[in-house]
Structure 1
Amino acid sequence: MSLRVAVQMDPLHSINVAGDSTFHLMLSAQARGYSLWYYDVGSLAWTSTGEGPGTLTAWAAPVTVRRPASAGESHYTLGEFATIDLVDDIDVVLMRQDPPFDLGYITGAHLLEKLKGRTLVINDPEQVRNCPEKVFVLDFPQFMPPTLVARRIEDVRDFQAKMVAQGLPGDLVMKPLHGNGGKAVFRITADGANLGALVEVFGQMWKEPYMVQPFLPDVAKGDKRIVLIDGEVAGAINRRPGAGEFRSNLAVGGSAEKTELTPREAEICAVLAPELRKRGLVFVGIDVIGGHWLTEINVTSPTGIVAIDRFDGVDCGGLIWDAIARRHTAMVAG
């Protein structure tokens, strides 16, 4: 069956086609004969006449994507923009814009939730809203490193003292609770010399608490991204920090290499799998440091499938669309 797919994403012209997972998914959908529309979350509009469930529309354009054959060639062609009905005109909405996970992001998820039972949204917008990366992971503390979520500097200092008492070096990592891509992640030395300044900056920039964890020296060996598709492991890559960095995210200069799962990582995936399937989180990327410590469960706009396909010879795009097609068939069947 051919599906009509609307992709809610960041500006098409700005993506890195060599490694962008959304672009990879669009190419895969197109290869199956699916038709694609492109729109920005800011164009969503909900209308009600007082009868029925209301109408959700987007200002969208049909799009064709391709890998450029030469420098300067565009990677997409857009048709005319028009208002499309996300029920009457679309079978699947792919929710793929990057965070920040702010009120705009949350409101977009609320609006897409109005499509439930009529148009399939991947990942499920209610669960995306309920499961931000560094909050959802708190449901699985047995797999996490020691963690503090707080705003008071006194709590951070107390946490640091506890880490030292447990025999850890005392260096900490501090990061925004709703950040992404390794942005604004700081290392705090054991003497706490820069702690006060960082707490001030975080307090001015973000109203929510921040996350603090011990610095894990094993990050030098890599931070593993494991992709799960409808709860099943599709593959993994190991991301190593670049020169002079402790952050391994590809977006900040990390490099990817082939890897395999450790027994501990396989255990983590097995525990997460039923919860991910139940929540309609079809495409998920989890991060594990040192083969042992679960640090994030990425559900908003996971990445990594291009590198996994390259290293492992799998077809993550195809596997994701297989899972989406199964869920769409089940939804239509009622």
Structure 2
Amino acid sequence: MTVGIGVICDALAYRDQPGSDVIRFYQALARDQAFESFHLPLPDLRVSLMRGDTNKLPAFRLSDRAAATLWTAEPLRDLQLLPAERFDLLFCRTLKPFPPRHLELLQQLEPLTRFLNRPSSKIRQLASWFLADIAGSFMPASRLIRSSEALADVLELWGDIVIKRPNSTQGRGVSRLRRSAGGVQLSQGLRQVETFPSLEPVMGLIGDVAEEWLVMPFLPGTCKGDKRVLVVDGEVVAGYRRRSRSGHWINNVSFDADCELEPVSEDERCVVAATAPAYRSMGLRVLGYDFLTGDTGEPVVSEINVGNIGGFSRVAELGGPDAMQQLLGWMRIFGQSEGDPLIESAQNHHAPAMAAIYQQSVDQGGVTMDAGLMTAESFRQRLSACGERSGFWVLTLGGEVLGWTELRAYSPRWGYRFTAETSTYVHASARGRGLGSKLQSFVIGKAREMRYRHLVAKVVSRNDQSVAFHLRHGFEHVGIQKEVGFLGNSWHDVVILQCLLV
């Protein structure tokens, strides 16, 4: 059985990169008879998605010749218009920085097919806070910066810092600042180091601080090069070191870095084992870890790249395994079998996906009384606080969390020991498939096992779908708490529902 795959890319972005990993990926994909492969040109695809039309996606069938000529300035001929369901897999290989609302537009396709890297999760991954939320214990000290005053404070603290902007790639969104006798030294890419009397003129050269920058102290070990480790679906594929020929602090192949194969160390494997399952739970499966050398020689994470990862074709050229074929082999298996939903006890590596799903309801409004950013750390704390007769469970499909449910004691008072409260949430792209019902039936069964007799659910009154959902699962309407919650400059009523387990 062939796997239908659509690769999303603006081909002309690579016209000056003839040896690009993306071009070689297209060529390898076109030769592989296990795939029915299509190129989805990004400009045309955006037009369709801006209209909300998921039944007419522009697609160009790949062949050896097409994969070799896509990168010219000639317009594509023979475009087909195909429904999203035509593809078993979609793989976005668009070069950052992404155009406006790129990932938000791709989200429309999530309910209809599978992505190797889910766009809705990629939106969270691009945020400056995300890396520390997942891999903070393996990173150098870091700060999130939103003002020139905050930047001045960390420059005073560390003296030599690296600033990373979101939605950037190939070393182009990274700057280095150092205090000097003449003021402040700025280093960006291969440009000559410039000295400024103050931070004020520097800010505009770096970018818009309102987008939130991730700032770290500069590590002297950076000049030894960095280590790229390729990971697919949690499994380490290979690693190689990148080192600038000129001794520059940016070790990127798009600048002037040379590469050499290097075994993945046990410490690096431990970092991957501790963090990759969290990405996998969010449907982010193709990863590129970038390691620097810490002050005591230990590997530290400087970045975990998702999706459009370079290096798979390079590994074989360096004398290593054929990483590109390993990637394609995994894609064949992944595209042929989705598996069955599995409900299991929630673990810490599920926390990022649980937070992302809950964030959808928070952002939607009128669903929960919570507000603000939901982080993996907040859910790790909730998991660790579970008592003997409470818990969280997740529904996973191929390791990806599509929903979760919670059972918690209604009150710590002794007289309420047989009463519990439930909550169930499903990823927006997976609703309407019966997954919420699976979770609700499961948690009701767990409540019986834990000797609860009475279940309570509290639902914001405007959330008619949730009220109807609970009524279908044996709950009954008890009453309404009038104007009990205030959110979004409005008072909200809450419906109280109960289910007697007798």
Band the TM-score falls in, shorter-chain normalisation: 0.7 to 0.9
State how far apart, in whole Å, the 2-side matches of 1:255 and 1:133 are: 29
Contact kept, 8 Å, 2:103 with 2:120, in 1: the verdict is: no
1:197 alignment partner in structure 2: 201
State how far apart, in whole Å, the 2-side matches of 1:175 and 1:276 are: 20
User: Which entry has the higher C-alpha Rg, 1 or 2?
Assistant: 2
TM-score (norm 2): 0.57
1:172 to 143, 152, 161: 161
Contact kept, 8 Å, 2:284 with 2:307, in 1: the verdict is: no
Say which structure is richer in strand.
2
1:94 to 69, 91, 95: 91
2:58 alignment partner in structure 1: 59
Secondary structure of the corresponding residue to residue 142 of structure 1:
helix
The count of corresponding residues between Structure 1 and Structure 2 is: 314
Cα shift readout 1:218-248 (whole Å, capped 9, x = no counterpart): 1111111110011110001111123162211
2:338 alignment partner in structure 1: 331
2:132 to 124, 138, 143: 138
Cα shift readout 1:286-325 (whole Å, capped 9, x = no counterpart): 1111152101111141111122222243122222223223
2:4 alignment partner in structure 1: 4
Q: CA deviation at 1:217?
A: 1.5
Q: CA deviation at 1:59?
A: 1.8
Gaps of 5+ in 1: 164-169
Mark the CA change 1:76 to 1:24 in structure 2 (over 3 Å): closer, same or farther: same
The equivalences for 1:35-74 within 5 A come to: 35-44=36-45, 45-46=48-49, 55-65=54-64, 74=69
2:480 alignment partner in structure 1: none
Secondary structure of the corresponding residue to residue 78 of structure 2:
coil
State how far apart, in whole Å, the 2-side matches of 1:62 and 1:305 are: 23
2:219 alignment partner in structure 1: 216
Name which structure has the greater RCO, CA cutoff 8 Å, separation 6+: 1
Contact kept, 8 Å, 2:162 with 2:177, in 1: the verdict is: yes
Secondary structure of the corresponding residue to residue 63 of structure 2:
strand
Cα shift readout 1:167-214 (whole Å, capped 9, x = no counterpart): xxx2111231222110042221123524332223345x4640122211
2:102 alignment partner in structure 1: 105
State how far apart, in whole Å, the 2-side matches of 1:133 and 1:21 are: 25
1:167 alignment partner in structure 2: none
Q: CA deviation at 1:55?
A: 3.2
Contact kept, 8 Å, 2:223 with 2:247, in 1: the verdict is: no
1:274 alignment partner in structure 2: 277
State how far apart, in whole Å, the 1-side matches of 2:260 and 2:26 are: 24
The equivalences for 1:239-254 within 5 A come to: 239-243=242-246, 245-254=248-257
Q: CA deviation at 1:277?
A: 2.5
Mark the CA change 1:56 to 1:253 in structure 2 (over 3 Å): closer, same or farther: farther
2:322 alignment partner in structure 1: 315
Contact kept, 8 Å, 1:236 with 1:260, in 2: the verdict is: yes
Mark the CA change 1:211 to 1:333 in structure 2 (over 3 Å): closer, same or farther: closer
Contact kept, 8 Å, 1:134 with 1:297, in 2: the verdict is: no
2:83 alignment partner in structure 1: 85
Q: CA deviation at 1:133?
A: 7.3
The equivalences for 1:20-35 within 5 A come to: 20-33=20-33, 34-35=35-36
Secondary structure of the corresponding residue to residue 62 of structure 2:
strand
Cα shift readout 1:250-289 (whole Å, capped 9, x = no counterpart): 1122221111223321221111232232222221101111
Cα shift readout 1:86-116 (whole Å, capped 9, x = no counterpart): 21x322211110111453322233223232x
Look up the equivalent residue of 1:43 and give its one-letter code.
D
Look up the equivalent residue of 2:26 and give its one-letter code.
M
Mark the CA change 1:173 to 1:47 in structure 2 (over 3 Å): closer, same or farther: closer
Mark the CA change 1:149 to 1:178 in structure 2 (over 3 Å): closer, same or farther: farther
Look up the equivalent residue of 1:295 and give its one-letter code.
S
State how far apart, in whole Å, the 2-side matches of 1:309 and 1:66 are: 23
Mark the CA change 1:202 to 1:261 in structure 2 (over 3 Å): closer, same or farther: same
Contact kept, 8 Å, 1:145 with 1:214, in 2: the verdict is: yes
Mark the CA change 1:310 to 1:133 in structure 2 (over 3 Å): closer, same or farther: farther
Contact kept, 8 Å, 1:258 with 1:311, in 2: the verdict is: yes
Gaps of 5+ in 2: 185-195, 342-502
Deviates further, 324-333 or 226-235: 324-333
Aligned-residue Cα RMSD (Å) equals: 2.9
Mark the CA change 1:56 to 1:302 in structure 2 (over 3 Å): closer, same or farther: farther
Contact kept, 8 Å, 1:63 with 1:76, in 2: the verdict is: no
Q: CA deviation at 1:63?
A: 2.4
Contact kept, 8 Å, 1:2 with 1:32, in 2: the verdict is: no
Contact kept, 8 Å, 2:148 with 2:209, in 1: the verdict is: no
Mark the CA change 1:320 to 1:249 in structure 2 (over 3 Å): closer, same or farther: same
Secondary structure of the corresponding residue to residue 129 of structure 1:
helix
State how far apart, in whole Å, the 2-side matches of 1:179 and 1:196 are: 23
Q: CA deviation at 1:135?
A: 4.1
Contact kept, 8 Å, 2:5 with 2:90, in 1: the verdict is: yes
